Structure 1
Amino acid sequence: MDSSINVSIILVKLRNQIGLVIQEIGYYLGALQYYVLYNQYYYLFEVPISMIRKERDNENREKERYLEGRKRKMGRMRSSLSYND
């Protein structure tokens, strides 16, 4: 009788250990799934958005350079007009 109780206790402990191992594997699979989904999101949305932002920033810099060049040109024209008067 004692041996059957010991065997059943050992089986229960073994079952609990197997359950813990399966639970741990589940945690790792969940983390892996989260990592994969995050990478998919990052490469589908964040990378193109950052490329669009970079392109927009370049366009804004070009506009600013153009406007500064126009201001300098207008300033030179005004200064030359004031000297001629």
Structure 2
Amino acid sequence: MSKEPPQMKIRLSLELKHSIESAAKANGRTMNAEITHRLEQSFAVGDKAKEFMDDDPLKGIVVMCEMMGQGIASIASLALKAGIDSGKVKVTEKE
């Protein structure tokens, strides 16, 4: 008997499909791996935030802000790799 994970079909907007393709390429992943990674991350972040919010709401807010900062750093890194310069903000590497 096969132990492969179950498959499922989903409908996406063309724009979302293109976003996933771009992110997968930038991260060196297949589209499936990119989708799986992002879903796992979203559940992990939500679970972590809920855990902290239940124990200590202020610490929960701090943790969520730190996670958002990591997300922003990831976006900036991708922009840097892509050579994006909006004209308003120049993305540079940290020293």
TM-score (norm 1): 0.33
Higher-helix-fraction structure: 1
Structure of larger gyration radius: 1
Larger RCO, structures 1/2 (Cα 8 Å, 6+ apart):
2
Normalising by structure 2, we get a TM-score of 0.30
